[in-house]
Amino acid sequence: MASNGNGEFTFANGNGTAAVANGNGTARNGLAKIQTQKKGNGMCHDDSTPPVKAQTIDELHSLQKKKSAPTTPIKGTQGGAFAITLSEVERQKQQLQSISASLASLTRETGPKVVRGDPAKQSETPKVSSHVSHHHHFTPTISVSDSALKFTHVLYNLSPAELYEQAIKYEKGSFITSTGALATLSGAKTGRSPRDKRVVKDDTTEDELWWGRGSPNIEMDEHTFMVNRERAVDYLNSLDKVFVNDQFLNWDPENRIKVRIVSARAYHSLYMHNMCIRPTPEELENFGTPDFTIYNAGQFPCNRYTHYMTSSTSIDLNLARREMVILGTMYAGEMKKGLFSVMHYLMPKRQILSLHSGCNMGKDGDVALFFGLSGTGKTTLSTDHNRYLIGDDEHCWTENGVSNIEGGCYAKCIDLSGEKEPDIWNAIKFGAVLENIVFDEHTREVDYSDKSVTENTRAAYPIEYIPNAKIPCVGPHPKNVILLACDAFGVLPPVSKLNLAQTMYHFISGYTALVAGTEDGIKEPTATFSACFGAAFIMLHPTKYAAMLADKMLKHGATGWLVNTGWSGGSYGSGKRIKLPYTRRIIDAIHDGSLLNAKYKKTEVFGLEIPTEVEGVPSEILDPVNTWSDKDAHNETLLKLAGLFKRNFETFTNYKIGKDNKLTEEILAAGPNF
């Protein structure tokens, strides 16, 4: 991104030429404004949750703390100075100019000037003068707009300690827990809002991206994006201070992406400090212009009467401008997953496969990928004391091997305990962020079982807080690709060995089953399908990622596995969940290679290869039909689930892979047959 001096920014596009975008809704290359109609579509909601039922911030704040005696008064604090020297200002001059360009409103002559440091800790208020100030680099004139006389202080790449100070002092609902983590509130939205996410549809993205039924990509035109961008930038410019993070994505140095996050909250800055890769002082000094910029104005709503808007929340991606705008939600996960969507677009262009998966490595260098939706055990099974953790959620598979996209972990905290998840439990210390949890007001001890604010409580911490994390977070080519499903219908085997076509079929399907309990009793299990185990974040058609996965597995000799962590002996309510020690034994047998040498037999309907025995696992549970007392009920449930698979896959049957479409036919044949 580069400014051409007249309020326009240029970006290099994929063919090496430059495209120029301006603020009037029409690009220089003559793109017409796109008129569309809103369409409903089915999407994976993952961590999306209902809004908190609180009318005021005080009501929301009251949910956060459990009353106990004695109460702890909240006292104000006195701050020192974020002192900087003249030499540091000069050294940061290029960065500040780049930040100033990021903050400038492109449809106006100019925007506020940026100053480094906290306005509350400046020795004196900047005065408007005709002389150039070495702190501010400006010369006001009579003709400029009022915004040119406004100062926006930039708190640039602050340390966790500095961000703690900012959060505790200025952000209501921020506290330090007994273990030293920063507890905070995300506001009314405690999960993602996938139906409020928009992507600019232009001549390029119209052909490249996945649109229509089942797709997470809801379109908007560039003019509407610019309206929302203007609103976000105006809001950020109106503040006395903003937080700016310059960080990296992807531990692979050849394919690293520079990102800039401009936000209004210390909580957001600390969250991204943890989740992205933290640059060294030398890397920061030479950071230059970012490849992608987020304007997080989530405290300010979008205008609901703007075209394409369906609520006061909007998360907008413009891939041509390489920008993201957030309005109307302070849930930090929107930034993480927005950047993941960007990587799902940029990396395949480089023939790199982006993956929503966990990843670990054995002491002999054998790498395993873990795919799975919420509740399948992806985090639990990929975090193994006997193996090195490469990452828990987002990865790239390049020609050199695998690399983690992120610099941290974002773990669910509901019912967290030190016995079940010791690594995550111990990682929640100073520097970690705890979202929407409830704690004792006096002791500040967190009650992880309390769902008063939301069930989607979260912890964000740097990956080095995990003792066996592999730093740098890279590894060789995967040996095993493990697809996890929590089958509440109770008819999938605990483990199946997949051929290549079956791996693609189940990867595209992305199946798990949810169980909903109500006061009136237990509801039927609900099948959930999320393409590529992350439909809410993928940008291209799922079959493109599946074809890349199959190609890399074939090239590097990886084996596909389907592991059911759900029910056995009946559906939820009658059967029992497969014991975690049994699943761990199965995973261990996959890692050490012994499961490859087992004897196999094929199941009916799904045609899955299941082992006849696994050391440490009762043989009778390996074939689900053995554990059901009512065999007719088993067969009926099996056919029901197979029908759900077939119905879901109809979305993808009209997309051809390869010139002769032979691969598409092979994938379809790998599904259930009845």
356 is catalytic: yes
Max distance between CA atoms of the chain, in angstroms, equals: 88
> What DSSP element (H or E) covers 275?
helix 266-275
Q: List the catalytic residue out of 196, 392, 393, 487.
A: 393
Q: List the catalytic residue out of 241, 265, 356, 497.
A: 356
223 is catalytic: no
Q: List the catalytic residue out of 201, 260, 337, 497.
A: 337
Q: How many Cα atoms within 13 Å fall on the side-chain side of residue 388?
A: 18
337 is catalytic: yes
Contacts of 548-554 with C-beta under 8 Å, sequence gap 24+, read 548/348, 548/351, 548/353, 549/353, 549/355, 549/397, 549/481, 549/503, 549/504, 549/507, 550/500, 550/503, 550/504, 552/353, 552/397, 552/477, 553/478, 553/481, 553/500, 553/503, 554/500
Q: List the catalytic residue out of 268, 321, 378, 395.
A: 378
3-state secondary structure of 561: strand
Residues 6+ apart with CB under 8 A from 127: none
Q: What is the rounded distance in angstroms from the CA atom of residue 491 to the CA atom of residue 468?
A: 35
Q: Supply the DSSP symbol for 152.
A: E
378 is catalytic: yes
Q: Are 382 and 389 in contact (CB under 8 A)?
A: yes
Q: What is the rounded distance in angstroms from the CA atom of residue 175 to the CA atom of residue 654?
A: 52
Q: List the catalytic residue out of 321, 458, 497, 591.
A: 458
**DSSP letter for each residue of 516-551:** -EETTEEPPPEEEE-GGG-TTT--S-HHHHHHHHHH
478-487 burial: b if 16+ Cβ within 10 Å, else e: bbbbbbbbbb
Q: List the catalytic residue out of 186, 357, 379, 383.
A: 379
CA dist 440 → 173, 343, 360, 444, 587 (Å) = 14, 40, 36, 5, 38
Q: What is the rounded distance in angstroms from the CA atom of residue 535 to the CA atom of residue 550?
A: 18
Give the end-to-end CA distance of the chain in Å, rounded to a whole number.
54
108 is catalytic: no
Residues 6+ apart with CB under 8 A from 349: 14
Q: List the catalytic residue out of 65, 136, 192, 470.
A: 192
Phi, then psi, of 5 in degrees rounded to 5: 95, -10
310 is catalytic: no
Q: What is the rounded distance in angstroms from the CA atom of residue 585 to the CA atom of residue 604?
A: 25
Q: Catalytic positions, please? A: 192, 337, 356, 374, 378-379, 393, 458
